[in-house]
Structure 1
Amino acid sequence: MTTTHRTTRRAALLIGGALLGVHMTLAALSQAPLSPAKLVYGDRVAAYLDPYFSQNWQLFAPTPMSDDRGILARATCRDGSVSAYYDVSAAALEKVQSSRFFPSRDVRIVSAALQNVTSSEELLRRLRQQQTNDKKPVLPPLPYEKVTEKEAVKTLARYAWDRMPAACDGRPERIQVRMYVRELPPWSRRNDPSAEDEVMVKDFDWVKREELR
């Protein structure tokens, strides 16, 4: 191996290692607790990581799921008509249950994106809850929270578009995602016939077809 080849190889290794180090640092920052650095650079980090490198480590005692959540989607056609809602989550679950030995991982795409939409820093959740209890103005979403939600919604809309081939004859102009979260009665009221579910629904903004490519 000539000196030139050694130099080129070392340079490539150094550059590759530096790029990998930067990537890992950004990924770690996205999962780190709230800090001044995250407040300043969080939105840029989220824009870089989503959707292909999004992280959801939940290393320290993740909050267990105690609800049923999923998405519906509808499309706007070229003639201005709007399709009926399509139950994206139900179709994904049916696909998983149809193959017990080699289940589809599609349902994880939806659940991971929904976690990015609904999750936030523990400190911010407590602050907003306290402001709500005190009937004070609630802290609006921070820039990095807005970017994370926007990218998550685009991921959901892109996935829904792929699962709605019959909508608008396969040529929808826009996709709208509706998220639902059904809070189940607590275990302590499992035998209470009067216990009812609580359903929260949120309609996200329409996403144009060009943004899904």
Structure 2
Amino acid sequence: MAESSAGTGGAEDGRCAADAAAGVPLGGRSWSRPALAVLGVAGAALVAVTGLFLAAVFLHVAPANSLSREYREQVDGVVYPEFEQNWKLFAPNPLQQNVSLDARVRTVADGGATRTHDWFGLTARDLAAIRGNPAPSHADQNLLRRAWDFYEGTHSAQDDSPTGPRGKLAEQYLKRIALQRTGRSVDGERILEIEFRVTATVVRPPDWSGEAAPPAPKVRELPWWPVNDEDHRGLG
């Protein structure tokens, strides 16, 4: 019996070795050559795309050089706005303001009458979701804040006009974040326009510092922006 078992095991081992040598996976299952070709091409494409993305992020955060200057438009197109890198945490002059963003909408009823609604706090909602949460969402912590930084860096503080080609992209990004939270309508009325209000409050210095009290908060209202079906695309 022992010899019989050993013989059977030896034959099985021989078949496994032969299958492995022939490229047949253990268990008798095998991929067809077209399937292997598709998997190979897909794997190579994934590696290539990942490599290009990492290279773009590296060029974005690295000191300016001839390569990053040559392909700046392409690099910005990959990084902005979702993957923008910010290193202010390690800068000599960290952020010293609390920025609060509010919004309000103007709706239109079926009969054509319009109505302007009250302000609602976008930042306040994020803070409410963060407080008491041991593992707060990255979106609650940073999405709205980075969207405003993106807008502020691409618009004039005097008249809110775009200062570069990415200005309109920043407006659309900020608008879509707000519309994602309001939906297409309010109280059954379609949203026609949206407006933002930003309040910047300087962080009060500690009493022992001897520094002067901070100035009063600065309030900035942006122009009304129209809302259309394209602004809701992909938002549900």
Distance (Å, rounded) in 1 between the aligned partners of 2:175 and 2:96: 25
34 and 74 in structure 1: CA distance in 2 versus 1, 3 angstrom threshold: farther
Quote how far apart the aligned CAs of 1:15 are: 1.9
Task: State the 1:29 CA deviation.
Answer: 3.2
* DSSP 3-state at the match of 1:9: helix
Query: For 1:117, which of 139, 151, 154 is the aligned residue?
Result: 151
Q: How far did 1:185 drift?
A: 4.5
CA distance in 2 between partners of 1:8 and 1:48 (Å):
27
**C-alpha distance in 1, partners of 2:221/2:208?**
27
The partner residue of 2:99 within 69, 75, 93 is 69
Contact 1:31/1:56 (CA < 8 Å) preserved in 2?
A: yes
The residue number in structure 2 matching 1:158 is: 176
The yes-or-no answer on 1:11 pairing with 2:41 is yes
Say if 1:59 and 1:68 are closer, same or farther in 2 by CA, change over 3 A.
Answer: closer
Of stretches 42-51 and 11-20 in structure 1, the one that deviates more from structure 2 is 42-51
The residue type equivalent to 1:169 in the other structure is G
Identity among equivalent pairs (%): 18
CA shift for structure 1 position 168: 5.2
Distance 1:177 1:111 in 2: 13
- Mapping 1:123-202, distance limit 5 Å: 141-143=163-165, 147=166, 149-164=167-182, 167=186, 169=188, 171-187=190-206, 195-202=214-221
Aligned length: 188
| Rounded Cα–Cα distance in structure 1 between residues aligned with 2:207 and 2:66 | 41
Residues in 2 aligned to 1:24 and 1:151: alpha-carbon distance in whole angstroms: 22
Do residues 94 (structure 1) and 128 (structure 2) align? yes
TM-score (norm 1): 0.66
Cα deviation for residue 200 of structure 1 reads 5.0
Relative to 1, partners in 2 of residues 1:188 and 1:8: Cα closer, same or farther, differing over 3 Å? same
* Contact 2:151/2:174 (<8 A) preserved: no
Judge conservation of contact 2:205–2:213 (CA < 8 Å) in 1. no
Distance 1:187 1:58 in 2: 25
Q: Distance in 2 between matches of 1:101 and 1:76?
A: 36
Q: Does 1 or 2 have the higher relative contact order (CA < 8 Å, sep 6+)?
A: 1
8 A Cα contact 1:96 1:103, kept in partner: yes
CA distance in 2, matches of 1:77, 1:172: 4
Secondary structure of the residue that 2:53 maps to in structure 1?
helix
Q: 2:136 aligns with which of 103, 121, 124?
A: 103
Per-residue CA deviation, residues 18-72 of structure 1 (Å, 9 max, x unaligned), is 1222222223333344556656654554444445x42325288245221110211
SS at match of 1:81: strand
Of 2-11 and 23-32, more deviation after overlay is shown by 2-11
Report if the CA contact (8 A) 1:74-1:84 is conserved: yes
Counterpart for residue 29 of structure 1:
59
Distance 1:46 1:115 in 2: 16
Distance 2:208 2:223 in 1: 33
RMSD: 3.6
Mapped partners of 1:74, 1:157: distance in 2: 11
User: Which residue in 2 is equivalent to 1:136?
Assistant: none
Cα distance in structure 1, aligned partners of 2:95 and 2:88: 15
Aligned to 1:58: 87
Gaps of 5+ in 2: 1-30, 155-161
Letter in 2 for 1:61: F
| Residues 197 and 219, structure 2, Cα contact 8 Å, conserved in 1 | no
Q: For structure 1, which runs of at least 5 residues remain unmatched after alignment? A: 121-139
Could you say if the C-alpha distance between residues 58 and 195 of structure 1 is closer, same or farther in structure 2, counting changes exceeding 3 Å?
closer
